Amino acid sequence: MDLVGHSDRSRASRVRGRRHSRVLSRYAGRPVRLIWRYVARRKVAHAVVLASVAAAVGFALASQYGIRNLIDALPHGRTHPRTVVYAFAVLVALIFADNLMWRVAGWVSSRAFVRVTGDIREDMFGYLMGHAPGFFADKPPGVLSSRVSATANAVYVIENTVAWTALPPTLTVIGAIVVVATVSLPMSLALVAVSALLTACLFWLARKGTSRHEAFASQAASVDGELVDVIGNMGLVRAFSAVHAEVRRFDGHLEAEALTRRRSLLYLEKLRILHALVTALLSAALLGWTLWLWTQGRASTGDVVLVGSLGFAILHGSRDVAVAFVDLTQHVARLAEASQTLLMPYSMPEPPKAIPLVVREATIDFENVSFAYPGRRRVLSDLTLHIEAGERVGLVGPSGAGKSTVLALLQHFYEPASGCVRIAGQDISYVTLDSLQRAISVVPQDVALFHRSLLENIRYGCPDATEADVRRACEDASCMDFIAALPDGLNAIAGDRGTKLSGGQRQRIAIARAILKNSPVLLLDEATSALDTSSEIVIQAALERLMKNRTVIAIAHRLSTLQSFDRIIVLNRGRVVQEGTPAQLATVPGIYRDTLARRNRRAPPHTLN
């Protein structure tokens, strides 16, 4: 019953994940809807922030009215002191309430805004992980990682800008116009008309500048990607004495970014200048109008002070709104660009009715499979191949023959153009990706390790394994000797992509990782290529233990590593041109025998990959 319940929960989790991914993809390039999605998750907290800011602005405007009442009460204050005291008390209470509301808004927002940032970063990363490998091959990792951060940071800046820079002055301007109506309704209506016209003009001009802001966002992301690319390949840079060349290249990227940033900022500054001129004229006209009313006896001294202070409030408030608005335009453009890249629809979405892969007999079948990478010639042409459960098969052939593509299709990194790939009789295009990945262990040629401890790297495919299990796997992979010599042993950090270890050490860590994962299908892609002769002998013994009772496909240019295999399949131009046991192929004219003959003549090693 527990297993059934776990299966049901896993299936429900996958369904929710697919639905979640489909929903997220709809927000690509739609920044406002994307922001609202995460704001809506915490409606109460955001409503409290909104209400607190509105109340604070209301109390601030009421304070202006309180000052007006105090000024009007002063001429009669000596004969009626109670009136002055009352006006003073009301003013102090309003000031106190104003500050209290700001603090409430700040306290609630410090939690809500941070949680929104965490939510969007988590969702962006989760969605990014669902893309097919081809998506990552086309985009530098630095560009993608910078966009995950840029998306979350843009939302955080937008929320803070709206709450603290845009909303308060907007409410202030609206409230000030309402208060002005108590002095002169025509004056208030004129303010409404001018404000509406000014806002519409600014909105139209800001939209015209969107392309400049998006260009800056794209260029900034490319600079981040260039940084990660160069730093990640620093060994290559130094090996080819290219430090100065890379610095010059990066300077070029910085100049391009600076140019797009200047264009974006200058456009924003033009909008600010336009707004400053209009609001300065508006404030002067407003104060002059009030003085004219005072000369006619239609406004008190307090009204003149009130309208004068409100005029400045409108001036500064509308200026702040304009600044916030144009800044928001830039951040919204960056959010749109980042979300457009990250939330692209999946090229290989998991089918809605995908079922778990059940492996009782780990047979492998390629049925008339054809495949070509995007924009390139066909790699596989009607490839048909059957591998029995428990069979050890070696793939050999010249470079570009399709050997690595066979392994990639078996892991469902790509979808065949035609035909299908089956494991245990199930078409892998219709099984869940998690179950497929659990069924396959891989020892690659270029071993990838995280910048984490060796313990975490080895049990990456089996996170629940005990340290004793890890040590046994290390013993079987013959890597416990060098691990024990490290100061921190299994807790030693591997370094970025495993740079603190030699190539042979990384290879043995990968073998230990595969041993611990214990999957029924094993893929070996040049698994001993980085080992010297003595290490290779030790590792071959470990691989013999690992391959026992498993279906194995191995790519190797050292033909000696395939002599114990059940079958060798020779590929050329995406087709099977020879197959048989190592002994049989050694006597048949063809690629395998020719390569074997060159090795026996002690010719330079011929690489088949």
pLDDT for the residue 225: 65
Instruction: Report the largest interatomic distance among the alpha carbons of the chain, rounded to a whole angstrom.
Output: 125
Q: Give the bridge partners for 567, in sequence order.
A: 393
pLDDT value of position 515: 87
Report the pLDDT averaged over residues 7-30: 61
Q: Which residues contact residue 130 at a Cβ distance below 8 angstroms, ignoring those fewer than 6 apart?
A: 21, 346
In terms of pLDDT, which residue wins out, 224 or 2?
224
Give the Cβ contact number of residue 599 at 10 Å: 15
Instruction: Give the separation between CA 546 and CA 598, rounded to whole angstroms.
Output: 30
Amino acid at position 472, single letter: R
Query: What's the pLDDT band for 609 if we cut at 50, 70, 90?
Result: very low
Please report, in angstroms and rounded to a whole number, the separation of the first and last CA atoms in the chain: 49
Q: How confident is the model at residue 311 (pLDDT cuts 50, 70, 90)?
A: low
Structure tokens at 305: 């002070």
Structure tokens at 471: 């040590």
Mean pLDDT of 546-568: 85
Pairing of strands 575-580, 567-572: antiparallel
What's the rounded mean pLDDT across residues 47-54? 93
Phi-psi region of 574 (alpha: psi -120 to 50; beta: other; left: phi over 0): left
> What pLDDT score does 260 carry?
77
Predicted model pTM = 0.69
Looking at residue 149, what is its pLDDT?
82
Q: What is the pLDDT of residue 104?
A: 93
Q: For 465-564, where are the alpha helices, taking DSSP H only?
A: 467-476, 480-485, 503-517, 533-547
Taking the C-alpha atoms of residue 193 and residue 202, their distance in angstroms, rounded to an integer, is: 14
Summarize pLDDT for 246-255 with one digit per residue, the tens: 788 777 777 7
Residue 9: how many other CB atoms lie within 10 Å: 10
Q: Calculate the dihedral angle through the C-alpha atoms of 211, 126, 435, 445, rounding to the nearest 10 degrees.
A: 70
The pLDDT value given to residue 409 = 93
Contact 290, 181 (CB under 8 A): no
pLDDT of res. 604: 47
Amino acid at 9: R
Is a pLDDT exceeding 80 seen at residue 288? Answer: no
Average model confidence (pLDDT) for the chain? 79
For 476-493, the pLDDT digits (tens) are 888 888 888 888 888 888
**Structure-block tokens of residue 604:** 């330079």
The answer to whether 551 and 522 are in contact (CB under 8 A) is: yes
Say if residue 5's pLDDT is above 50.
Answer: no
- 303 phi and psi, to 5 degrees? -65, -40
Dump pLDDT digits (tens) for 399-433: 888 898 999 999 998 899 999 999 999 999 999 88
Phi, psi values for residue 55, rounded to 5°: -65, -40
What is the fold, at CATH topology level, of the domain defined by 14-342? ABC transporter transmembrane region fold (1.20.1560)
Check pLDDT > 70 for residue 14: no
Per-domain residue ranges of the chain: 14-342, 356-439+551-609
- pLDDT exceeds 90 at position 353: no
Q: What percent of the chain has pLDDT over 90?
A: 15
Per the CB < 8 A criterion, the answer to whether 553 and 523 are in contact is yes
Query: Could you tell me which of 397, 370, 368 has the C-alpha nearest to residue 384?
Result: 368
Q: Give yes or no for residue 363 having a pLDDT over 90.
A: yes
Per-residue model confidence (pLDDT) at position 228: 67
Extended strands (E) in 293-409: 364-372, 378-387, 392-396
Average pLDDT over residues 286-308: 69
Average pLDDT (133-143) is 75
pLDDT in the model for residue 15: 44
Determine contact, residues 413/133, Cβ cutoff 8 Å: yes
Angle at 580 between CA 574 and CA 585, to 5 degrees: 95
Cβ distance 229 to 142 under 8 Å?
yes
Q: How confident is the model at residue 392 (pLDDT cuts 50, 70, 90)?
A: very high
Q: How many residues does the chain have?
A: 609
For residue 360, CA distances in Å to 211, 429, 470 come to 57, 19, 26
Cβ atoms of residues 278 and 272 within 8 Å:
no
Please list the alpha-helical segments (H only) found in 381-423.
403-410
User: Homologous superfamily of 356-439+551-609 in CATH?
Assistant: P-loop containing nucleotide triphosphate hydrolases (3.40.50.300)
Q: 602: pLDDT confidence band, cut at 50, 70 and 90?
A: low
What pLDDT band is residue 50 in, cutting at 50, 70 and 90? very high
pLDDT at 423: 94
Please report where in the chains the tokens 């392994």 appear, as a residue.
Answer: 407
- Give residue 98's pLDDT: 87
Check residue 453 and report its DSSP letter.
B
pLDDT value at residue 301 = 63
Q: How confident is the model at residue 262 (pLDDT cuts 50, 70, 90)?
A: confident
How high is the pLDDT of residue 298? 67
271 pLDDT above the threshold of 80: no
Confidence of residue 207 (pLDDT cuts 50, 70, 90): low
Tens digits of residue pLDDT in 503-547: 778 888 888 888 888 899 999 887 666 556 666 676 777 777 778
Of 597 and 151, the structure prediction assigns the larger pLDDT to 151
Check residue 257 and give its pLDDT.
Answer: 75
